[in-house]
């Protein structure tokens, strides 16, 4: 694709510089920069824009795959202010676990839209294969020295996909002291998200309705009034399980950071983050199987999560420069009021192969406990709880990533790198006894994914 097109990188850069300047011409801050009509040659001369681009492909075996392209442009202005603009486009297709449990028989599920249904084979984890979305994200970040020892930064974020809109702002203030060997920082961020899912927002614990308009029957629908009546009644029944068309959530974060240079070879960082999420925190596509004492599903109920969550985390990172190699180790501990806590260890070792290239192995371990309302299914013999979700992503789980990156400096001074990683999630049973048929099926299926990335800086 054009992001890694090597034949004419200068022309790409010139074109992008013009595009970026033209875009910014609408912003009052640096409107002057776009006053002149720039020719490519002129843009090249005047340009101090640096571009970074990447293309990433993520693919799970039998489930979701995603392609993501990023281009980031950065310019340092006269007063040492730095402007960064970033465009991200991603596209998602494939199947995602619905939360329903595998069964010894074939299961039929209504698509989220209510139009049509799909089947899951015996013994298989139910996956909704209708996932398809394209997302466009724009970020702008302005960073500049405010006074001696103080640096300020502010940014905006907008992300739009078919059924989701996210708007965000952030601000950060950093204070350097001890000969710039120590830095304290405080940052704030606020997001406002609107979710308008296909088929609307289901009522908590509503039964999955029947499909009312099967796409496969497209031609027969128009034939007579009978089908239309059935469809109309079906649609009314479907709508009775819906609460509203769209809902919101807000995320407010505060983060305190401390960075310390230890010596010529070593630097460390510590962060504390507090995050409060309010609003609609359910996943409208997720449900739970309601099973009898034999473990056979009698119904499927939409999940229900609390409408607020407070997350906190501490994060520590160290980088050490050996004679040649650079090691990067970080650890994060996160806990929240859903009783989830998690440990993450991330480590990279950059090994120069020559003056112009390096190889960087990467290893990451992750482990989380389950949310207190997580359960892999609902039992008919028990009362329906206040909150419940069978989403494995808030269940007990461990995961690891193994990867390697190879990077090189090209003869024209630009950077090219390749990254290949393997990611595996192993959901765990956190103490639930599976009755009857559920004991015979896999309730905690592992997920494997491959991540491949190409990056080019110019």
Partner 1 sequence: MKTFQIKKNYFNAGLPSQIIKCSLLSAAIFLASGCSSLGVQPWERDLLAKEEMALTSSPIDSALDDHIYFSKEASSGGKGFGGGGCGCN
Give one DSSP letter per residue of 409-450, joined into a string: E-TTS-EEEEEEEEEEEEE---SPPPPGGGGGS-SS--EEEE
Q: Which of 110, 31, 119 is nearest to 302 (CA)?
A: 110
**What single-letter DSSP state applies at residue 47?**
-
Contact call for residue 269 and partner 1 (CB under 8 A): yes
* 333 contact partners, CB below 8 Å, separation of at least 6: 313, 314, 315, 341, 342, 343, 344
Minimum CB distance to partner 1 smaller for 137 or for 207: 137
Stretch that binds partner 1, among 3-11, 82-90, 107-115, 289-297 (CB under 8 A): 82-90
Stretch that binds partner 1, among 102-110, 228-236, 248-256, 292-300 (CB under 8 A): 248-256
Q: Which of 247, 145, 232, 245 is nearest to 192 (CA)?
A: 247
Contact call for residue 231 and partner 1 (CB under 8 A): no
Binding residues among 328-387 for partner 1 as defined by CB under 8 A: 328, 330, 332-336, 339-342, 344, 350, 358, 366, 368-372, 375, 382, 385
Cite the beta strand spans of 280-394 per DSSP E: 287-291, 297-302, 308-321, 326-336, 341-352, 357-368, 378-379
Contact call for residue 95 and partner 1 (CB under 8 A): no
Whether the CA torsion 318, 74, 53, 4 is positive or negative: it is: negative
Residue from 397, 437, 438, 443 binding partner 1 (CB under 8 A): 397
Residue from 12, 85, 201, 277 binding partner 1 (CB under 8 A): 277
* 88 contact partners, CB below 8 Å, separation of at least 6: 68, 69, 70, 135, 136, 137, 138, 139, 159
Contact call for residue 181 and partner 1 (CB under 8 A): yes
Minimum CB distance to partner 1 smaller for 218 or for 323: 323
Contact call for residue 310 and partner 1 (CB under 8 A): no
Binding residues among 405-434 for partner 1 as defined by CB under 8 A: 405, 419, 423, 425, 430-433
Q: How far is CA 197 from CA 200, 221, 245, 412, 418, in A?
A: 5, 25, 7, 47, 35
The site map against partner 1 for 13-42 (x = CB under 8 A) is ------------------------------
Contact call for residue 255 and partner 1 (CB under 8 A): yes
CB of 41 to partner 1, least distance (A): 29
Binding residues among 102-141 for partner 1 as defined by CB under 8 A: 133, 135, 137
CB of 8 to partner 1, least distance (A): 22
């Amino acid at each position: 694709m054009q992001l890694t097109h090597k034949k004419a990188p200068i022309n790409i850069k010139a074109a992008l510089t013009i595009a970026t300047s033209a875009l910014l011409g609408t912003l009052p801050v640096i409107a002057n920069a776009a006053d002149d009509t720039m020719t490519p040659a002129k843009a090249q001369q005047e340009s101090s824009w640096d571009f970074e681009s990447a293309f990433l492909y993520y693919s799970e075996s039998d489930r979701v795959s995603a392609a993501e392209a990023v281009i980031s442009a950065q310019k340092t202005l006269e007063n040492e202010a730095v402007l960064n603009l970033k465009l991200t486009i991603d596209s998602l297709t494939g199947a995602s676990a619905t939360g329903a449990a595998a069964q010894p028989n074939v299961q039929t599920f209504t698509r989220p839209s209510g139009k049509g249904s799909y089947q899951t084979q015996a013994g298989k984890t139910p996956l909704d294969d209708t996932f398809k979305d394209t997302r466009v994200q724009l970020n702008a970040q302005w960073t500049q020295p405010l006074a001696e020892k103080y640096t300020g930064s502010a940014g905006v974020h907008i992300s739009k996909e078919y059924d989701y809109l996210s708007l965000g702002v952030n601000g950060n203030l950093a204070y350097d002291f001890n000969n710039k060997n120590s830095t304290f920082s405080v940052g704030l961020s606020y997001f406002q998200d609107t979710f308008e899912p296909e088929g609307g927002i289901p009522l908590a614990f509503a039964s999955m309705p029947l499909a009312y308009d099967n796409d496969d029957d497209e031609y027969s629908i128009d034939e007579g009034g009978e089908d239309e009546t059935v469809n109309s009644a079906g649609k009314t029944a479907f709508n009775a399980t819906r609460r509203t068309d769209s809902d919101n959530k807000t995320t407010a974060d505060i983060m305190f950071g401390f960075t310390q240079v230890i010596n010529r070879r070593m630097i460390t960082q510590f962060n504390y983050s507090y995050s409060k999420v309010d609003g609609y925190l359910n996943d409208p596509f997720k449900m739970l199987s309601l099973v009898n004492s034999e473990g056979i599903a009698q119904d499927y109920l939409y999940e229900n999560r609390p409408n607020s969550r407070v997350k906190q985390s501490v994060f520590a990172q160290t980088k050490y420069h050996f004679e040649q190699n650079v090691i990067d180790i970080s650890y994060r501990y996160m806990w929240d009021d859903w009783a989830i806590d998690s440990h993450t260890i991330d480590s990279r070792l950059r090994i120069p192969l020559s003056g112009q290239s390096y190889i960087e192995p990467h290893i990451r371990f992750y482990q989380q406990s389950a949310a207190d309302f997580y359960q892999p299914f609902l039992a008919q013999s028990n009362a329906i709880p206040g909150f419940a979700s069978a989403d494995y992503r808030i269940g007990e789980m461990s995961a690891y990533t193994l990867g390697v990156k190879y990077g090189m400096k090209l003869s024209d001074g630009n950077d090219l790198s390749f990254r290949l990683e393997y990611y595996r999630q192993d959901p765990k049973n956190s103490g639930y006894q599976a009755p009857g048929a559920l004991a015979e099926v896999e309730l905690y299926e592992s997920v494997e994914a491959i991540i491949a990335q190409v990056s080019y800086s110019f």
